[in-house]
Structure 1
Amino acid sequence: MMKAPHFTRRKLLTAAPSLALLTGIGGTALAAPEGLTSETLLMSRQGKGPRIVICGGGWGGLSAARHLREELPEAEIIVLERNPIFWSCPMSNKWLIDVVDTAFLTHDLLRPAQKWGYSLVQCEVTNIDRAAKTVHTSKGKVDYDFLILAGGIRNAYEAWFGEDQKAAEYTRQNFGSAYIPNAEHLALKNKIHNFKGGTIVMTLPPPPHRCPPSPYERACVMAWHFKVNNIPAKIIILDPKPKIAPIGAGYQAAFDELYPDIITHVPNAKVKEVDPYNKRIMTEAGDFDFDDAIFMPPHQASDMVWYADLIGKGEDGRPTGWADMDPRFFTARGDDSVYIIGDSMGAISPHFGHYPKSGHVANYIGRIVARNIGQRVRDEDVVAELPDNLCYMLVNGDPQEAISVEFTYAVGQDGLVHQTQFDIDVRTPDLMAEDLVWVDGMFNDFLR
């Protein structure tokens, strides 16, 4: 095996982010033969360039892979992804009520790999040995020079059920959150379209969690479906926060003006106990019985970050649940050969905490990290860049009207990152049209 090259990091600089969309070249997709174990060598070294392994083929991982090819034409880029297809969580709430169809959300993972020139392996990441710079998978092990962890989130059901895995699995199967690409999305859509009436309870995870405004959007699209189909349904949103956020005024107007008899928002409703068998939930805002539910447990960084022993610790010494990382360069603290991008990222600034855990941010950070790795390999100054964020949320199905939130970031005089938030609370069809333009541009960047 070729010895891994040595890379140096030169002076670190800060700059405004670049929005340039880059081009790439053709590549390959790999299928592993039968009989491989987690200790089998999955791939021998190819060429003279550095090997960059990306764990996770979502919005962040595929963005990094696509832009790394432009930055480093000689690099060997390998994406490890467990799912056979790409499923977009952004826009999936619209799919629940058929505003977009399944073909809009699903994409062939092989096409971008072939177009942009990286290797794709469908497998499960089972362990990460940072000392040996090796990723262990269900199809063998692969070594790396740089590692990008882009696995998204995990559902932390143990916060509710401790070691009672039976209760956690029963809850997932019957009241799944549908916030990670898997069968839960289809189960939720079937639940909505087959619901005959009664009370649906929806929990929100405590912050930070994936796509902060999207649970409210989900409640709105469900309420619209129930309203137009004359289904006698009630939706109770159990929110651990003291108020609706973000886009609070816009959502409150939608609840009050469009769905006053359907949606009830309950603030300060931190979950104390869940009894999925008897359909009862206890919160700090009261106890609630339900006919059906969408239970979103607390979110944490993906399993692979835990495998890599890169979870941060709070002042109390307990795990934060999120990656311990440099907030400007997205490298793991103490191991700058590892990058964390997307929803697994840890806190960025004491002024606002985390970047929004959104597809937009994951795509943007993937592009930034690709440029930073390119700079390091070329022995150039590494430039710290800032992302932005943009989210559109559908609140009415006919006419199709959306609200929106934008975030911008800048480094203040204190040397820390500051966040500015712009809520667009007035629902309009124009914002829904902008949403479709936005997602089309995103898909063109890293999927098509």
Structure 2
Amino acid sequence: MIGRRSFLAGQAALAAALTTAGAAAAQTPAQSTAQPAPAVAPVRNAIPRQGKGPRIVVAGGGWGGMTTARHLRDELPDAEVILIERNPVFWTCPFSNKWLIDVVDTDFLIQDMTIPARTYGYRLLHTEISGIDRAAKTVQTGVGTVDYDLLVIAGGIRNAYDKWFGNDLRAAEYTRTHFPSAYIPNAEHFALKRKLRDFKGGHLVMTLPPPPHRCPPSPYERACIIAWHIKKNNIPGKITILDPKPGIAPITGGFTAAFQELYPDIITHVPNAAVEEVDPFNKRILTYAGEFEFDDAILMPPHQAADIAWMADLVPVAGDGTTRGWADTDPRLFTALDDEDVYVVGDAVGFISDQFGYYPKSAHVANALGKIVARNIGERVRGEDVVPVLPDNLCFLLVNAEPLESVAVKFTYDLDPAGKVIQTLIDVNERTDDHLAEDYAWFARTTGDFLA
């Protein structure tokens, strides 16, 4: 149990300090009376506060962000909760692999975000975040500057193409548009579905991101789904999985059996194949396991915390430019290590334990952390003891579509005698059609927690 922390919002002083006139004066050098001031774009007005409670801004409206906003309203009915999300709809990545072969339709994946905002009473801003100033406690958006008392970063991941291409933006954009990874909710999912539909044969290469990355077992599920499509439609195609890990993990037995028993002539898994160089124009990849040419590809670059975590200066970078790429986070309270007024939920959360490294960057964990952080904030604001809680994780992965068979993995977490978080991983390797029903039940239960 963590000791009491007093919550000193200082709302009146903060509001006075953050008037747009004051912000403009603080950022604009004094001008000589002998020379007219240069023309400048007008500063957008700050969004006025509503109510008397603290203002809590949630930056990012995915699984973690929407969960946090919904439960903050339960924990603190007087708080003003603002959720900022650039995407006009909620697109769920779980089940998106299954959507590639029409196990579910598009309406299953897309939800209206305005309904839960109205139902639970938080304010939803559909706009881009362009900057975060932790010293001033403001978030800059396309509709104005939003001040906060507490900030929750829930932006998910970004594709770190710079790890492959450095500053070569042309190569990065060519890769993104021609060989989309489809791991962030956007049009890349539709591009990947078109790629699968139009695939007439040849050598398809899949690069897997190095750990940690979003939904660790999902690239293997994607390979199985594409292999099933190739097999069912008698397409003369092969899939090579370039895996940076020494072996298939998690669900080692289940995916190994699926590759060998269901798709032995289609899938080739190459371990220890960390990417050294990618030439998207000439369709060539150099890895530690050798060089590979391809006819088509799904190129998944390394994953890092979303841009807004970098905007907030939460991702440490060493003097030599190296970085883990994730937000520096207290492993029990999920506050930024250098700012207790900033919380992190979901995929952006940083290093947790030297036993397993990071929590799985999954929808289940994001939902769990959203509830945990909302409760932590509620206890803190009410002046109660903040009681840390550990999440869990559960994933179901489809490996065959006729019949619809899945495997699964469960993660549990506990504390060792020294207070370190430790992980227990349970692979459920048996292929069974029962898992799909459990997957639907999990999806309904979990989305029902934050979608109205």
* TM-score, L = length of structure 2: 0.90
What's 1:27 paired with? none
Q: Is the 8 A contact 1:10 1:379 kept in 2?
A: no
Cα 1:198–1:334 shift into 2, 3 Å: same
User: Which sections of structure 2, spanning at least 5 residues, go unmatched?
Assistant: 6-40
Shift of 1:317: 7.3
Matched-pair contact (CA < 8 Å) for 2:69–2:81: yes
409, 420, 425: which one pairs with 1:421? 425
Report SS of the residue matched to 2:200. coil
Are 1:117 and 2:117 an aligned pair?
no
- Residues in 1 aligned to 2:118 and 2:350: alpha-carbon distance in whole angstroms: 32
Aligned to 1:68: 72
Q: Give the corresponding residue for 2:11.
A: none
Offset, 1:41: 2.7
| Alpha-carbon offset, residue 316 of structure 1 | 7.2
1:42 shift after superposition: 4.2
Q: Runs of 5+ in structure 1 lacking a partner?
A: 1-8, 13-36
Q: Which amino acid aligns with 1:212?
A: P
Structure 1 partner of 2:172: 168
**Is 2:142 aligned against 1:138?**
yes
Indicate yes or no: 2:245 matched with 1:241.
yes
Match in the other structure for 2:290: 286
Structure 2: how far apart are the matches of 1:288 and 1:317?
29
Q: How does 1:35-434 map to 2 (within 5 A)?
A: 39-313=43-317, 318-434=322-438
The answer for the alignment partner of 1:442 in structure 2 is: 446
Q: CA offsets per residue over residues 72-109 of structure 1, 9 Å max, x none? A: 00000000000000000111000000001101000000
> Which residue in 2 is equivalent to 1:11?
4
Task: Give me the whole-angstrom Cα distance separating, in 2, the residues matched to 1:223 and 1:294.
Answer: 13
Secondary structure of 1:44's match?
coil
Contact 1:38–1:140 (CA under 8 A) maintained in structure 2: no
| Partner Cα distance (1:149, 1:71) in 2 | 18
Distance 1:288 1:359 in 2: 33
Percent pairwise identity = 64
Alpha-carbon offset, residue 11 of structure 1: 3.3
Counterpart of 1:312 in 2: which secondary structure?
A: coil
What SS does the corresponding residue of 2:224 show, helix, strand or coil? helix
TM-score, normalised to structure 1, is 0.91
Residue 318 of structure 1, CA deviation = 3.0
SS in 1 for 2:445: helix
Distance 1:151 1:245 in 2: 26
Q: Which secondary structure does the structure 1 equivalent of 2:316 belong to?
A: strand
Shift of the 55–61 alpha-carbon distance from structure 1 to 2, 3 Å rule, reads same
Deviation string, structure 1 residues 300-341 (Cα, Å, up to 9, x no partner): 001011111111356977322100110100000120000011
What's the secondary structure of 2:56's corresponding residue? strand
Would you say how many aligned residue pairs link Structure 1 and Structure 2?
Answer: 416
**Matches of 1:129 and 1:38 in 2, distance apart?**
19
Distance in 2, Cα, partners of 1:399 & 1:369: 40
Does the 8 Å contact 1:332/1:339 carry over to 2? Answer: yes
- Alpha-carbon displacement from aligned partner over 1:112-158 (angstroms, at most 9, x marks no partner): 00100000011111110000000001221100001000000010000
1:254–1:38 Cα change, 3 Å: farther
**CA distance in structure 1 between the partners assigned to 2:86 and 2:123 by the alignment:** 14
Q: Is the 8 A contact 1:331 1:339 kept in 2?
A: yes
C-alpha distance after superposition, 1:369-404 (max 9, x if no partner): 000000011000001000000000000001000000
Larger radius of gyration: 2
Q: Is contact 2:181-2:298 (8 Å) kept?
A: yes
Q: Which amino acid aligns with 1:349?
A: S
Q: Work out whether residues 379 and 386 of structure 2, in 8 Å CA contact, stay in contact via their aligned partners in 1.
A: yes
3-state DSSP class of the match of 1:390?
strand
- What letter matches 2:381 in structure 1? V
